[in-house]
Amino acid sequence: RLRALNRLQVILQHLKMSKQTDSTAEVLLEKKGGAGIITLNRPKALNALNLSMIQQIYPQIKTWEQDPETFLIIIKGAGEKAFCAGGDIRAITAAGKVGDKLSQDFFRGEYRLNNAVGTCKKPYVALIDGITMGGGVGVSVHGHFRVATEKTVFAMPETAIGLFPDVGGGYFLPRLSGKIGYYLALTGCRLKGRDVLKAGIATHFVESEKLPALEKDLIALKSPSKEKIADLLNSYHMKCKIDQEKEFVLDEHMEKINSIFSANSMEEIVEKLKQDGSPFAMKQLETINKMSPTSLKLTLRQLREGASMSLQEVLRMEYRLSQACMKGHDFYEGVRAVLIDKDQSPKWKPAALEEVSDEFVDNCFKPLGNDDLKL
C-alpha cells in the first residue's frame, strides 16, 4: 500500500506540474533555459488578472528569485490583442457589493505582487505587446525592463470608473518627466506604440513580430547578468525603425501640461484649463468633467504624496484608498456605466468637485490599523 501511495504522490506531483503548462490554465508558469516565463493566458478576457492568477504568479516569482538556475523572469500575454487590460473588475464589483472578502483579498494580493515585481532580485522583462492598462501596468512597469511594440496601448483609465490609478501608480506616475504622469492619471489619456517609450513607461521598443525571436535569444543567454540582458534588448531596440522619426504625441502640449497640472487642487486645474481656452485645454476639460469628482481628488493627492514615498509606502497608501472606494458609491456606479450597462453616463455622488470635502479625502487616506497592507 505504501508503494501505491508513493506512486500516487508521484502522479499527483506530475499532474501539478503539467497543470502549469496546460493550455487552458489562466496563467502558464514555465522554465525554459535560464528563464522563468509567465504567460497571462486569458486572451478572451484580454488577459485581465484575477485573484487565482495573482496567487499563482506571486509565489512563483519568489521561488525563481531564490533559484540559482533562474537568471531572468519574462512576463507576456497570450493572444494578439493584449498584454493585460487590467484587473478583473467585474468580480471585485460583485464581491464589494455584498461585502465579500474578495474586495480585500484581491487588492492585497495584487499590491503584494506589484511589490514583488518592484523588488525582484532577478532581471524582470515585461513584453508589453498590445493593451496594457491598470493591473497590466502593475505587473510590468515596476520591473527592470519593459519592451513596448507598435501594438502597445497604455492607459490608466481608473478615474472613469470611480477608482484611482492604483497598482503603484502613485509611485511611477509622479516620477515621469514634467507633469505627464498627473495628466495621464487624471484624464486616462491613452498612449500608443513608441509614445509609451517616449513617456518613460517602456524602456525599449521592438517590432511586435520580433518578440518571439527576442524571447528565444533571452532564453538562450548563458547565466546572463543584467547588463547582458540590457545589451540584447538594446540591440533589438536599435534595429527597430518603426515611427523612429515621429515626434512624441504630447510634445507640442508639454508646456501647457506642465503648467496646468502643477496646480495644487483639482479646482485650480479646472480653472487653469478654462483660462487657457485652447482646443487642447478644452478637450481635457471635457474629459475631466466626465470623471468621478471623488476619484479626481483622491488621485491628485495620491500622486502628490506618492512623489516622495517608497513603492512600499505608496502601495500601503493605495490599499487604504482601494478600501475607501469599495465602501463608497462611485466605483460601483462607474463600473455599471462603463463596463456593465455601457451607457457611459455615470451618476457620480457627489456630482461636483466642490462637494468632495477635504475631510472626506483625508479620511480615505487614514491608516487601517490591523487591516493595513503588510508587505
Catalytic positions, written as ranges? 87, 135, 158, 166
Among 223, 41, 226, CA closest to 122: 226
The DSSP symbol for 177 reads S
| Cα–Cα distance measured from residue 39 to residue 79, given in angstroms and rounded to the nearest whole number | 10
CA distances from 23 to 44, 78, 130, 338, 373 (A): 13, 10, 20, 31, 33
Q: How far apart are CA 127 and CA 47, in angstroms?
A: 13
Secondary structure tally for the chain: helices H, strands E: 17, 10
Cell output for 325? 472606494
Distance CA 197, CA 201 (A): 6
Give the list of residues 6+ apart from residue 10 with CB closer than 8 angstroms, or none. none
- State how far the Cα of 255 lies from the Cα of 66, in Å rounded to an integer: 46
Alpha-carbon distance values, 110 to 166, 190, 199 (Å) = 10, 23, 25
* Spatial distance between the Cα atoms of 331 and 158, rounded to a whole number of angstroms: 9
Other beta carbons within 10 angstroms of residue 355's beta carbon come to 12
Peptide bond into 174 cis (omega under 30): no
Q: Are 303 and 173 in contact (CB under 8 A)?
A: yes
Say if residues 116 and 95 touch (Cβ distance below 8 Å).
no
Phi and psi angles of residue 120, each rounded to the nearest 5 degrees, phi first: -60, 130
**Continuous H helices in 32-101:** 51-66, 89-97
165 — phi, psi (to 5°)? -70, 90
Quote the CA–CA distance of 38 and 177 in Å, as a whole number.
30
What is the enclosing helix (H) or strand (E) of 368?
none
